[in-house]
Amino acid sequence: MKKAYIISTGTELLLGSTIDSNSVFLGKKLEDIGIRVVGKIIVGDNRDQIARAFKLGFESADLVIASGGLGPTKDDLTKEIACQVMGVKLEIVEEEVRRLQDFFARRRRTMPESNIKQAMFPPESVVLRNPLGTAPGMYLSKDGKVAVLLPGPPREMENMYINEVEPLLKKEFQLETRKAVSRIIKVLGPGESQAEEMLEDVIDDPRGCSLALLAVDGEVHIKVTAEGRDINDSQRILERVTEKIKDKMSDNVIGYDRENLSSAVAKLLMNKGKIVAVAESCTGGLLAKLITDLPGSSRYFWGSITSYSNEAKKILLDVKEETLARYGAVSKETAAQMAQALIHRYGVDIGLATTGIAGPDGGTAEKPVGLVYIALADNNCCNVKELHFTGNRETVRLLTAKTALDLLRRHLISGGKD
C-alpha cells in the first residue's frame, strides 16, 4: 500500500485561529482510494520549518501532499521550498499568466505584480487548475516521489483534489486495480476496551483482514480492511468478518460507513410508522438537533420542548409541583412525567425525555455532576434509565443525547419489549 504524508501550512493554524480541516478531508480521501497516511504536520509560514516538513515527508512516504502557502505574498513559501527540496527550478508559465490576468480583468481589477509568482512552475510539473481562486496547484512526480501542492482555502482545496488530483494519483499508483476493500462498523454501548474484549476472537484470527478500533464521541468505530486475491475475494472476506463482528456486537451495532445513530433511528421510525417527541432539560435542544440533522425528519419527529426551568416543566409538561418538591428536577420521577406528558398531552407515539446535571456546577453529594435520567414512554409503558457520565459539560450533554437516541433505537428494535 502506498504511503502519504500531509503538510498543512499557515501560522494561523498554529495559533488556533483557523481549524485544520484540510488534513482531515485529505486523510479520508486518500484512505478511500487505498493510500495510507503515515503522518501529518502543521507548520507556520517559516522557510526552515516548511523545508524540514517536506524532507521528513519524503523520507516517510511515497506522496507528500500540502495545502496552503500558494498565494502571492512573501510568506507564501510552499511551492518555492517544495521545488528546492525536490531539486527543480521554477519558470514562468505564460498560459498561467494570461489566466491570472483574465481572472482580475473579469473583476475589473488590476493584477498586482506579486501575483506573477503564482504562474511559476517547474517544466516537469502538472499545473492544477483552480476555477475558484487565483492560486493554481502543482503535481510533481520525480524519482519515485510525488509532491502535490493545494491551496489553503478548504473550498478551493477540496474542489482541486477531487477534480484534478485524485485522477492523477489513481493513474500514478495504479489504484484502479487495487484489491483492498474496507468498512467502518459503528458501535454504541460498550466502551473501546470492552469492545476489544468482545471481539478478541476476531482480532486474534482476522483471516485476511486488519481491524482498528477508534473511540469517537461516545461510539466505537471498527475499521475493517480486507485484501484478498482480487476485489471479489476481498469483498467476500469483508462480508464474512462483518458477520462475525455483528454476531459479537448484536444490537450495539448502529450502522456502517456513512450511516449514523440518527439515520438508524429515522429508518426504524419510518418503517414502524411512529412519531416521536422529545422533552429536554440538561441537553438543551441537542437531542432535537441530532434528530433534525437529517432532512425530512418532520415525517417522524413531532418536535421538542426545552424545559430548563421548573416552571416550564410544570406548564408545558405537566410535571407536578409535589414531584419537583419531593424528588427534584433531576430525578426519575420528573423524567417519567416529562416523557408521559408528550404521550398524553400532545398525542405522539413515543415520548423521550432528558434531565440531569451537566455541570460544571450544580452537583451535590447525593446528585453529582454527570447524573442523568432518560425516560422513554409510549402508550403501554414508561421506562427510566439512570446514568452517570464523566467529562465536561459538552461531553455530558452529548453522551446524554446520544444515549437517549440509542434508547429509542433499541426500543424500536425490540418492538417495545425492552
Query: Angle 177-178-180 (CA atoms, 0-180°, nearest 5)?
Result: 150
Percent over 70 (pLDDT), the chain: 99
Model pLDDT for residues 86-142, shown as the tens digit of each residue: 999 999 999 999 989 998 998 899 899 999 999 999 999 999 999 998 899 999 999
Question: Does the N-terminal peptide bond of residue 360 adopt cis geometry, omega within 30 degrees of 0?
Answer: yes
> Tell me: the pLDDT tens digits for 319-350?
999 999 999 999 999 999 999 999 999 999 99
Q: Return d(Cα 36, Cα 128) in angstroms, integer.
A: 23
pLDDT score of 417 more than 80: no
Residue 278 pLDDT:
98
CA gap 315, 225 in Å, rounded: 53
Task: Write out pLDDT tens, residues 44-74.
Answer: 999 999 999 999 999 999 999 999 999 999 8
**Could you read off the pLDDT of 237-253 as tens digits, one per residue?**
999 999 999 999 999 99
Q: How confident is the model at residue 31 (pLDDT cuts 50, 70, 90)?
A: confident
CB 283: neighbour CB atoms within 10 A? Answer: 29
Per residue in 172-223, pLDDT (tens digit) is 998 876 678 889 999 999 999 999 999 999 998 888 888 999 999 999 999 9
Q: What residue spans define the domains of the chain?
A: 2-176, 180-256, 261-414
| Check whether domain 2-176 has CATH 3.40.980.10, yes or no | yes
Please state, in angstroms and rounded to a whole number, the distance separating the CA atoms of residues 399 and 219: 9
Residue 200, pLDDT score: 94
**CA 286 from chain center: how many Å?**
17
pLDDT of residue 305 exceeding 80: yes
pLDDT band at 418; cut points 50, 70, 90: low
Fold of 261-414: Maf protein (3.90.950)
Mean pLDDT estimate for the chain: 94
Place 32 in a pLDDT band, splitting at 50, 70 and 90: confident
Angstrom distances, CA of residue 313 to CA of 157, 168, 276, 316: 48, 59, 18, 6
CATH hierarchy code of domain 180-256? 3.30.70.2860
Q: In the structure, what pLDDT confidence band is assigned to residue 33 with cuts at 50, 70 and 90?
A: confident
pLDDT at 177: 66
Residues 6+ apart with CB under 8 A from 136: 70, 96, 99, 118, 119, 121, 127, 128, 129, 130
Q: What is the pLDDT of residues 249-284, one digit of tens each?
A: 999 999 999 899 999 999 999 999 999 999 999 999
Are 2-176 and 180-256 equal in CATH topology? no
pLDDT value of position 210 = 87
